[in-house]
Amino acid sequence: MKIVADENIPYVKDAFGTLGEVRLLPGRKMDAAAVREADLLLVRSVTKVNAALLEGSRVRFVGTATIGTDHVDLPWLQRAGIAFSAAPGSNANSVGEYIVAALLTLSARHGWTLAGRSVGVVGVGNVGSRVAAKAAALGMRVLLNDPPLQRATQDAKYRPLEELFACDFITLHVPLEKNGTDPTWHLADAAFLGRMKRDAVLLNSSRGPVADNAALLRALEEGRLADAVLDVWEGEPGLNAALLRRAALGTPHIAGYSFDGKVNGTRMLYEAACKLLGVKPTWDAATAMPPPETPQMALQAAGRNEEEVLHEAVRRIYSIEHDDAALRRLLDMPEPERAPWFDRLRKEYPVRREFQNTRVTLAGATPSLAKKFAGIGFRLSIINHQ
């Protein structure tokens, strides 16, 4: 059996090597010739999977190690009789931790206190629900908007979008849909941005075109919006350099790039392929994982601001400012070098482990602080309450 896989899927050769011969390729260089003789195709979001890629090939299974599927022509796969699997929820916790890091970083920069501030979460699926839970753990007031879930459940916790415009932060976690009942392409357009508070912050870690980047730049330049945190961009791997300059934080589509999340995606695709083939999985993701760089952390909390202590812990595990600085280096590059730099940052992204891999010892912590640490995902050992 022949398998073609994106080289950026971790452990893909180890896992799928138990099923056949694995050929690794850069995702953007997968073309019809490269996949024609493959039986299984494994991609990430940079590869467009459609008739142009697969017609006339031997491919009978396509797996994407991502939660989004907007890069895959699902109706065509169904008509062609090609099995498909994605990795929904695989990196949900990673994105949740990214948003926590962004909120704490902005809070530290501006002297804000997150507790008591409001955040509107648009899209409350695997990712949005994690973000909402972590924001609530930080003491924030969380408003949820998800029209499909509201229709399905009739749950009053899902509020109309209009109610979210009064929030201090709005964070987007929706799939990219151009058509249908709930289109999300340019959901955050000029009208949307114009209804947000002037001192509010927009965060987008879903898909670039969910926010109209040109309208967002205008809103920021004209002072109709305070700040933006952007992990995704229209035109990736290209991006609007002026928007990056104006954004509070900008990163190269890596919010979901925790190593734990990426390996989860590999595991989910491997298990789906094994099920399709009728074979028992033999590769174990848990035993493949390396030990965390920071398994233990001791912090002095007595007499300190709670969010200051939280920010110190989060920065030790994940510095969003480091990713921001790395992306901003492209602003000093000639235009032709910018898109390759964006892709390089993603391809060579360092191992980033999730908070759950670190046990924190807090000295002099209040019950409130301990609850916040646990709520955003850290494990706790000795806590001396004061």
Whether 222 sits among the annotated catalytic residues: the reply is no
Whether 253 sits among the annotated catalytic residues: the reply is yes
Dihedral of CA 12/14/19/25: which sign?
A: positive
DSSP state of 379: E
How many other C-beta atoms are found inside a 10 Å radius of the C-beta of residue 148?
15
Q: Which of 246, 253, 311, 352 is catalytic?
A: 253
Per DSSP, the three-state class of 122 is strand
C-alpha distances out from residue 340 to 46, 144, 210, 233, 346, Å: 13, 37, 23, 15, 10
Q: Which of 44, 71, 173, 236 is catalytic?
A: 236
Task: Report the C-alpha gap between 169 and 119 in whole angstroms.
Answer: 5
Q: Which of 173, 207, 338, 346 is catalytic?
A: 207
CB within 8 Å of 316: residues ≥ 6 apart: 294, 297
**End-to-end CA, the chain:** 62
Of 114, 86, 33, 2, the C-alpha closest to 375 is 114
Task: Report the C-alpha gap between 386 and 383 in whole angstroms.
Answer: 10
Torsion-angle region of residue 245: left (phi > 0), alpha (psi -120 to 50) or beta? alpha
How many CA atoms lie within 13 Å of 239's alpha carbon, on the beta-carbon side? 32
Of 325, 330, 353, the C-alpha closest to 343 is 330
Whether 110 sits among the annotated catalytic residues: the reply is no
Of 85, 4, 134, the C-alpha closest to 269 is 85
CB within 8 Å of 119: residues ≥ 6 apart: 103, 135, 140, 141, 142, 143, 167, 168, 169, 170, 171
Of 205, 35, 233, the C-alpha closest to 43 is 35
Catalytically annotated residues: 207, 236, 253
